[in-house]
Amino acid sequence: MGIKIKSLTEQVTDFIWGRPLDAMSKPAQFGITTLRIGNLIIRDISQGQLTLRAMGLVYTTLLAMVPLIAVSFSVLKGFGVHNQVEPLLLSLLEPLGDKAVVITDNIIGFVDNINVTVLGSVGVALLFYTVVSLMQKIERAFNEAWRVTELRPFAQRFSDYLTVILIGPVLMFTALGVTASIGNIEIVKSALEVEAIGAFMRLMGRLVPYLLVVGAFTFVYVFVPNTRVSFKAAVIGALAAALMWQIMGWGFAVFVSQSTKYTAIYATFATMLFFLIWLYLSWLILLIGGSIAFYVQHPEYRNLRSRIIRLSNRMKEKMALLIMSLVGQHYYHQLPPWTLKGLAKQLHVGTDACGLLVNTLEKAGALVRTSDTPPTYLPGHALETFMLKDIIDIVRAASESPYLSPEELPKTELVDDLYQEMERAIDASLEGRTLRDLSLAEPGKVVPMTDTAG
């Protein structure tokens, strides 16, 4: 039985990945691409990255939910639309059934109990800090899906987050208000009396909630990751996430309605239990949609290589030398400095793999990051004095702990002599050679690596 299952799995894998897309028709390409992205999403979930991020966001959301709604509530109150917060919460928690009313009432009650005059300046600052921390967690989660290792600069992070928190709810509820008020216009009322137009408008009325969800997801996928996301990829990810959201909502509503046994066992805790499960599923769906958008925008990542990056020592050494030579060449010839994405593309590797080496070199002072957007990189030392041996040493000693290093290992004469001989051989081959030697060549003369990673 086990052999048959393995054979079936191999046949499915070969069907999805075994044929080049170029040899297929357009409909077949679309179908196989969809299957490949689905296979990659299942792989990412099974490896635990998406589920761990979703669980982390559940915890942070519980801490920041009341402060977030309180901040949005105070802004919306100034525009006179704060009464729409409760119906929105009810709609988001609709799959919980009658338990959604209990949770919504509790959340609104907590918000009403927040008194700014009692909190004081420190309390208000902590309120905003909690909200910003939630936004930072969300950015980290989406950056992970997009293989981005860097958060926004602090000043940009603070301004962008507050813009979303303060202006986003106003725009969203304004759109809802405009949508609701269109039907009260006399011209629209007259047009609705025409049967065809009326049927079309009723259909649109049913679709508006889904379109708003798609729009909200699209905004999240475009804005949150600290990288440029194409609108097409964001919309495709949002459509997939909205569809999963709706299907999961129906399924979860059925589960809650038939969960009398859980209610009998957990009593009042059952409501919180269902709320936590729905919160987790909601974040997981949102992150899955972000991953779909990533694979749509980056077809080079549509392969079965593991997301866990493991670079061999020789790969790290060669990549480090290539990165430093590319950066040195542009600096020496006074050309625009490299970005991380540009370096990764030149080396034929993913930005996540390239980012590991760039971060290692930056922490050691070999590279200096500029304040540009996106950041670019310059040599950390003068080209004439930056020894190539130092670059190799940086890579070889990266992530070493003072409690677990070669010096802490047992002393054995034969092994120690052999190790010292290897070190002397490296020193002799690189003696007197500096980064300037690698920077003299005209840019573009460096032959890109043919083996890939990440």
Which of the four pLDDT bands, split at 50, 70 and 90, describes residue 65?
Answer: confident
What average pLDDT does range 283-287 have in this prediction?
93
Which of the four pLDDT bands, split at 50, 70 and 90, describes residue 99?
Answer: confident
Higher pLDDT, 238 or 441: 238
Both tokens assigned to 186: 């006399």
Query: What is the pLDDT at residue 447?
Result: 42
The CATH number given to 313-439 is: 1.10.10.10
User: Of 370, 319, 312, which is closest to residue 348 (Cα–Cα)?
Assistant: 319
What average pLDDT does range 365-369 have in this prediction?
93
Query: What is the pLDDT at residue 339?
Result: 92
What single-letter amino acid sits at 127?
L
**The 3-state secondary structure of 395-415, one letter per residue:** HHHCCCECCECHHHCCCCHHH
Query: What is the pLDDT at residue 60?
Result: 84
Query: What is the pLDDT at residue 6?
Result: 54
Q: What are phi and psi of 404, to 5 degrees?
A: -145, 85
186 vs 30: CA distance, rounded Å: 45
What average pLDDT does range 252-260 have in this prediction?
77
Query: What is the pLDDT at residue 252?
Result: 83
pLDDT of residue 299 exceeding 90: no
pLDDT of residue 126 exceeding 80: no
Query: What is the pLDDT at residue 446?
Result: 47
Query: What is the pLDDT at residue 202?
Result: 59
What is the full DSSP assignment across 253-303?
HHHHHT-HHHHHHHTTHHHHHHHHHHHHHHHHHHHHHHHHHHHHH-GGG-S
Both tokens assigned to 398: 């990266």
Residue 365 neighbours by CB under 8 Å, 6+ apart: 380, 381
What average pLDDT does range 316-335 have in this prediction?
93
pLDDT of 379-428, one tens digit each?
999 999 999 999 999 998 887 777 777 777 888 888 888 988 998 998 89
Q: b vs e for 329-361, b when ≥16 Cβ sit within 10 Å of the residue's Cβ?
A: bbbbeeeebbbbebbbbbbebbbbbbbbbbbbb
Task: Tell me the β-bridge partners of 404.
Answer: 401
**The 3-state secondary structure of 300-329, one letter per residue:** HHCCCCCCCCCCCHHHHHHHHHHHHHHHHH
Beta strands 338-339 and 367-369 are: unpaired
* Pick from 50-64, 91-105, 115-129, 395-409: least confident: 115-129
Spans of all domains in the chain: 49-301, 313-439
89 vs 104: CA distance, rounded Å: 6
454 vs 444: CA distance, rounded Å: 23
Both tokens assigned to 387: 């020894």
Query: What is the pLDDT at residue 116?
Result: 53
pTM over 0.85: no
| Packed helices 26-47 and 49-79: angle between N→C axes, nearest 10 degrees | 100
Query: Coil, strand or helix: which one is 368?
Result: strand
* Pick from 209-223, 349-363, 364-378: least confident: 209-223
Query: What is the pLDDT at residue 321?
Result: 93
Burial of 432 (0-12, 13-18, 19+ CB in 10 A): exposed
What average pLDDT does range 125-146 have in this prediction?
81
What average pLDDT does range 282-293 have in this prediction?
93
Query: What is the chain's length?
Result: 454
Query: What is the pLDDT at residue 449?
Result: 37
**Cα separations in angstroms, 266 against 69, 241, 259:** 28, 31, 11
User: Of 98, 71, 90, 94, which is closest to residue 82 (Cα–Cα)?
Assistant: 71
Task: Tell me the β-bridge partners of 368.
Answer: 378
Where on the phi/psi map is residue 97: left (φ > 0), alpha (ψ -120 to 50), or beta?
left
Both tokens assigned to 246: 């709706």
